[in-house]
Chains A and B, each alone.
Chain A
Amino acid sequence: MGSSPLMSLGVRAMAANYAAMQTTGHNIANANVAGYSRQQAILATSQGQFTGAGFFGRGVDVVGVTRSHNAFLTRESASAQSLAAMDSTRLTQLQRLENIFRTGESGLGYAATELFNAMVDLSSRPTDLATRQVVLARASDMAVRFSEAGITLDQTQDAVTAELKSSAAEVNQLTSSIAVANQRIAALRGSGQPANDVLDERDRLIGQLSQRVQVTRIEADDGTVGLFVAGGQRLVLGGSATELMVVASDVDPSRSALAMREGTAIRRIDDAGLGGGSLAGLMRFQNNDLVQGRNLVGQLAAAVGGAVNAQQLRGMSLQQPIGSAPSQPMFALGPQQALPQRGNARDPGTNLPIGSVNLTITAPAALVASDYDLRESATVPGSWDLRRLSDGLVRQVNGGDVVDGMQIDIANPQPGDRFLLQPVARAANGMQVLLTSPLDIAAASPLLATPGATNSGTAATGDLVVTASPLPFAGSSEQLQFFRLTPPVNGMDYEYVSSLTGTSTPWRTGLPVVGANGFTLQLTGVPGDGDVINIDPTPATSLASNNGNARALLALRDGLIVGGRTLTDSWSQSLADMGVRVQSAGSAASISAAVASQTEQVRSGQDGVNLDEEAARLIQFQQSYQAAAKMLQVAQSLFDTLLQATQ
């Protein structure tokens, strides 16, 4: 046995330790590279050489370099980050939306309250042009705030679309990089050794992709991975990637939807199946939070604007000729719309949908902050199912029915037709004041109530509110005569008879008196038997100083004019609704971020580089390397000894 086995043993040991140090150096170098997995040189004992005296070890071999990788933790971390990205994206968008729901003096609710409070001064000084001008200024302040909210809502939608587009572009870039990595991994597979750094790179890309959209990952036998979104739509398969696109939504073209390009066909992705990722967060914000925000603002605009307009039309302005110039509505509101869906039957010539729906707002106070889905009833032919999207309430309606304050007229319905109804969604958009002159404000009531001169009771007239426009008996005087009912009938101790219709109505003190000529009247005191109240057209000489309609406009402030609640109640509820949304999105985001951080901590704890560990390894391998070098020295001196012996 000579010295050369020892020499070669030393050389192999030096090479192996060098390789180990090289790997450690690689780890140290990549310690701060995102997604890098710590690598390890795998050393194995060389098979010993058999001699008559037994097996003599031949040293060490470098078998390969593996990366420390836990597929489960990697997957777990990617999906946790997917959810975290979705929640934080939605939170960011919601915080933008929350700016519209401002509290206090800069809020929409306060602007509306201030408009009504200006009616207080109008009631005190109906003839004063400056006071009337203040009312117009308050009205325009409110309209501007609403239309600005509408603009902000549109801008928010634009920003969502832009972000969807840039995210989709990013996704496409990532998926094509992943496809390329797949190809390289498959090609390198023949070498028999794992392509650690390419694998890391692919995992990193998939991690980035997961932040945009949650993917299901399926490993193939050739080392490639297939990535799928939304319950099975192919995003990456082997070396090819499918393009993700942003298209106009089927439901509402102003919204965006995601789709995949498959050859020439475009296949839409169901938002509900998206799972996680910032794209899912954006879609959820767009289709849920933004719609709700839009409807809450729109409901307030439509209800307040509608109530003021209606009351304005019932009053008398100071425009010439005084007493006969018809009043004009105060506000212009954005339109209500009924959008035909993509599958509706179309005219082959014009390619326009044949069937159409026309929405008319009949009772602004009954409007609900919601969109509606209208489709042909599956059970009753010719009838329609109307689903309120905010709470899922389904009602069966026919054309011409009035539901939630809107009348639904359906023209040329075709089988399978479906419509999205948006009664209030765009009401705030473009809201503006139509009145130009302070004289246009209808502060005066067209009717005046006076107790009969010979009344024996103590009844006096209080607020008279006109409830119809035009008046059912315009220009006529009405006399209501009160009679005692002894004994009282159903708790009513009076009845009154209208001179216009001759009908008698049971009444008791405290109830409003409802006249045939479209008004309600409050009485104070107690009428005597046979007493009369006269309701006459307001004389032209009293119109300028009459404040009846200004008081009726003020009464809207405390009336149930927004979905069965007062303006203030409704607005503060909207504030709370939006606040809760942002708050719960915030806690969801912080929880999912904490989960993502924990899973990433576990993953990186296993796969990441610890510099102290690498320092220790460095010393370990350095010492082994030095020992192996010593072996060479020994081998050399052995050889020298041998040479000297033979001299």
Chain B
Amino acid sequence: MRISTSYAFETSLANLQRRQSQLSEAQEQLTSGLRVRKPSDDPAAAAAAERALAAEARATAYMRALNDSRNAMQMTESALGDAGDMMQRARELMVAAGNGSFGDSERQSLAETLRGIRNDMLSVANRGDGAGRYLFGGQGSDVRPLRDAPGGVVYDGAAGQLNAAAGEVTPLSVDGGAVFLFAPDPGSPGGAVSIFDAMDKAITELMMPGRPSTDVALTVTTALSQFGAVQGNLSGWRARAGEALNRADGIESRLSQSKIDAQRDRSAAEDLDMVGAISDFQNKQTGYDAALKTYSMVQRMSLFDYLNP
């Protein structure tokens, strides 16, 4: 077959250029470490990498939410621990108040101490989480959720709890009403005891002068029974907060696992197999080298070289 000389030059040049651009493409892949840099490199892998990226971003966001919930629950747990300690001291005070040798003044001083505890309890109940929210704000309260009102402390928050958006139930707040105002009443089934009402009643009665010892004893036993119920309720809620923290650990390990899975999927979809790529690169290099050599050899040959001048 005849070969047109100029076409032979053209095709050899075009082949050289093609090999050169393949080589540079392979080099670009090697330096970036990515096999898929644009959808057309591998459409299915690009789509898979995109899904994996979204899954990774979701797990990262969920972990942020989980941390918020964990912080809130840690603070709640410690607030409930404080409240429990206060109730313990209140019970000890009531036991002391039952001492038959105490007179009005001793009881009044105990009542003053109890009042201090009661006020501390209210400030614990209105403790904030540092992020502009109240730990016991329920489904959201923009003002202190528990408030002194005529007739006793009332709850201004909405019942229930706020949850962080971590894909599972991860509380950010606790229902302050249920914690502080509605402990199950041991005296009347279905009834409820408010911490503050119980304390207020005990304080008022202890402050009352000249009461007969039987009345005082009744005050003490009622208060002790109510305080006990309240303390039980507090430790119940404390256990719930602890349980939320435990669950947070489980959720975190699930989230970090799914994050790792997503990273692995993304890498499998779009990262370069270095070993294969290097061998491929060497292949291409050899090919280019051979093309250059043969080009220079073949194109040097011409009949004109052999004609005597």
Which A residues contact B (CB, under 8 angstroms)?
31-32, 95, 98, 101-105, 107, 109-110, 113-114, 117, 119-121, 123-125, 127-128, 444, 448-451, 460-463, 524, 538-539, 541-547, 550-551, 554, 557, 567-569, 571-573, 575-583, 586, 597, 600-601, 604-613, 615-616, 619
B2-27 CB mask vs A (1 if < 8 Å, else 0) is: 11111101010010000000000000
Q: Whole-angstrom distance from the CB of B133 to the nearest CB of chain A?
A: 5
Task: List B contacts of A606 (CB < 8 A).
Answer: 2
Contacting residues, chain A, for B62 (C-beta < 8 A): 120
- Also in contact, A120 and B158, with CB within 8 A (given A578-B39, A579-B42): no
Q: Which residue of B lies closest to A569 (CB)?
A: B51
Given contacts A31-B5, A586-B40, contact A125 B132 (CB under 8 A): yes
**Complex alpha-carbon distance, A611 and B43, angstroms:** 47
Q: Does B297 contact A (CB under 8 A)?
A: no
| Complex interface: chain B residues within 8 A of A578 (CB) | 39-40, 43
Tell me, rounded to whole Å, the shortest Cβ–Cβ distance linking B203 to chain A: 27
Question: Can you pick out 18 interface pairs between chain A and chain B where the beta carbons lie within 8 Å of each other?
Answer: A103-B37, A104-B49, A110-B50, A120-B65, A124-B164, A128-B131, A542-B158, A544-B132, A545-B141, A567-B54, A576-B44, A579-B39, A580-B40, A601-B7, A605-B1, A608-B6, A608-B7, A611-B302
B36 within 8 Å of A (CB atoms): yes
Asked whether, in the complex, the Cβ of B143 is within 8 Å of the Cβ of A582, the reply is: no
Listed from nearest, the 5 A-B pairs whose CB atoms lie closest are: A608-B4, A579-B39, A579-B43, A582-B40, A124-B68
Selected contact of B142 from candidates A463, A542, A573, CB within 8 Å: A542
B86 to chain A minimum Cβ distance, whole angstroms, is 26
Q: Which of A98, A450, A604 contacts B139 (CB 8 A)?
A: A450
Residues of A within 8 A of B47 (CB): 572-573, 575-576, 579
Which of B11, B50, B157, B169 has a CB less than 8 Å from the CB of A572?
A: B50
- Contact between chains at A103 and B39 (CB < 8 Å): yes
Expressed in whole angstroms, the minimum distance between the Cβ of A85 and any Cβ of chain B is 15
Question: CB-nearest residue of chain A relative to B71?
Answer: A124
Q: For A534, give the chain B residue with the smallest CB separation.
A: B159
- With an 8 A cutoff between CB atoms, is B275 at the interface? no
Decide: A120 near B165, CB < 8 A? Known: A575-B50, A579-B46: yes
- B254 at the A/B interface (Cβ < 8 Å)? no
Give CA–CA (A611, B2) in the complex, Å.
11
Complex Cα distance, B163 from A605, in Å, reads 78
A105 touching B139 in the complex, CB below 8 Å, given contacts A120-B64, A572-B47? no
Task: Report Cα–Cα, A125/B69, bound state, in Å.
Answer: 11
- Cβ B160 vs Cβ A609 within 8 A: no
Docked-complex contact B46 and A127, CB < 8 angstroms: no
Asked if A538 and B158 make an inter-chain contact with CB atoms under 8 angstroms apart, the answer reads yes
Q: Given B54, B142, B166, which contacts A110 in the complex, CB threshold below 8 Å?
A: B54
What A residues does B54 contact at CB under 8 A? Answer: 109-110, 113, 567-568
Q: A123-B163, A583-B40, A605-B7 are in contact. List 14 more A-B contacts (CB 8 A).
A: A31-B6, A103-B50, A109-B54, A123-B65, A124-B69, A125-B132, A125-B133, A542-B140, A546-B162, A547-B165, A604-B7, A610-B2, A610-B5, A611-B5
A597 proximity list for chain B (CB < 8 A): 11, 14
User: Please, which residues of chain A bring their CB within 8 A of the CB of B302?
Assistant: 611-612, 615
Residues of B within 8 A of A461 (CB): 160
Closest chain A residue to B170, Cβ basis: A124
A539–B62 CA distance with the chains assembled, in angstroms: 28
Specify which chain B residues have a CB less than 8 angstroms from the CB of A103 in the assembled complex.
36-39, 46, 49-50, 270
- Counting contact residues on chain B (CB < 8 A from A), the size range is 35 or more
> Which residues of A are found within 8 Å of B166, using beta-carbon distances?
120
Bound CA span A463–B170, Å: 12
* Cross-chain contact B4 with A605 (CB below 8 angstroms): yes
Complex Cα spacing A579 to B45, Å:
10
**Closest residue of chain B to A450, judged by CB?**
B159
Instruction: Please indicate the chain A residues that have their CB under 8 angstroms from the CB of B291 in the complex.
Output: none
B197 within 8 A of partner (CB): no
Q: How far does the alpha carbon of A572 sit from the alpha carbon of B133 in the complex, in Å? A: 39
Contact of B50 among A109, A582, A604, A608 (CB under 8 A): A109
Nearest CB on B from A10, distance (A): 25
Least CB separation from B266: chain A residue: A104
Once A120-B64, A545-B137, A616-B303 are accepted as A-B contacts, the answer to whether A583 and B158 lie under 8 Å apart by CB is no
Q: Check if B4 sits within 8 Å of A545, measured CB to CB.
A: no
Contacts of B156 in A (CB 8 A): 541
Alpha-carbon gap, A551 to B139, bound state (A): 13
Asked whether B61 is an interface residue with its Cβ less than 8 Å from the other chain, the reply is: yes
Q: Are B2 and A613 in contact (CB under 8 A)?
A: yes
Q: Determine whether B41 belongs to the interface, using a CB cutoff of 8 Å to chain A.
A: yes
Answer yes or no: B195 CB below 8 A from chain A CBs. no
Q: How far is the CA of A124 from the CA of B304 in the complex (A)?
A: 85
B240-274 toward A: CB 8 Å interface, digit per residue (1/0)? Answer: 00000000000000000000000000000010000
* Cβ 8 A contact of A124, one of B40, B49, B157, B172: B172
Contact of B39 among A98, A543, A616 (CB under 8 A): A98
The verdict on B57 contacting chain A, using a C-beta distance below 8 Å, is: yes
A568/B40 contact (C-beta < 8 A), A117-B57, A541-B143 known: no
Distance to closest chain A CB from B25 (angstroms): 12
Which A residues touch B6, using CB under 8 A? 31-32, 604, 608-609
Residues of A within 8 A of B158 (CB): 448, 450, 538-539, 542, 546
Contact B3 A605 (CB under 8 A): yes
Are A121 and B46 neighbours in the complex by a CB distance under 8 Å? no
In the complex the two chains form, is A615's CB within 8 Å of B303's CB? yes
Within the assembled complex, what's the spacing in Å between the Cα atoms of A513 and B177?
Answer: 26
User: At the interface, yes or no: B149 with Cβ under 8 Å from chain A?
Assistant: no
In contact, B141 and A576 (Cβ under 8 angstroms): no
Q: Is B278 an interface residue (CB 8 A)?
A: no
Closest chain B residue to A575 by CB distance? B39
Chain A residues with CB under 8 Å of B143's CB are 541
* Nearest chain B residue, comparing its CB with the CB of A597: B11
Q: Closest CB of chain B to A75's CB: distance in Å?
A: 18
Complex: chain B residue closest to A600, CB-CB: B7
With beta carbons under 8 angstroms apart, the residue of A95, A105, A444, A605 that contacts B2 is: A605
Residue contact A542 to B141, C-beta cutoff 8 Å: yes
**A117-B58, A606-B2, A611-B5 are known contacts. Are A127 and B38 too (CB-CB below 8 A)?**
no
Given A119-B165, A542-B158, A557-B58, also A124-B50 (CB < 8 A): no
**Closest Cβ of chain A: how far from B191's Cβ, in Å?**
12
B294-309 Cβ-contact flags toward A at 8 Å (1 or 0): 0000000011100100
Interface presence of B53 (CB below 8 A): yes
Q: How far is the CA of A104 from the CA of B139 in the complex (A)?
A: 37
The answer to whether A579 and B41 touch across the interface, beta carbons within 8 angstroms, is yes
Complex: how many Å from CA A586 to CA B41? Answer: 11
Tell me the minimal C-beta distance from B233 to chain A in angstroms.
16
Q: Which of B5, B14, B132 has the most CB of A within 10 A?
A: B5
Contact with A along B138-176 (1 / 0, CB 8 A): 011111000000000000111110111110010010000
Given contacts A579-B46, A610-B4, whether A547 and B140 have CB atoms under 8 Å apart is: yes
* 172-230 of chain B: CB within 8 A of chain A: 172
* A576 B57 Cβ-Cβ under 8 A: no
A127 CB contact (under 8 Å) in B39, B139, B142, B165: B142
Which residue of B39, B60, B169, B303 is within 8 Å of A576 (Cβ)? B39
Q: Please name all residues of chain A whose beta carbon is closer than 8 Å to the beta carbon of B44 when the two chains form the complex.
A: 576
Q: Which of these, A110, A538, A573, A616, contacts B57 with CB under 8 Å?
A: A110
Point out the residues of chain A lying under 8 angstroms from B1, CB to CB: 605
Docked-complex contact A582 and B39, CB < 8 angstroms: yes
> Which chain B residues border A98 with CB–CB below 8 Å?
38-40
B303 contacts across to A, CB distance below 8 A = 611-612, 615-616
Which residues of chain A are within 8 angstroms of B159 by Cβ–Cβ distance? 450-451
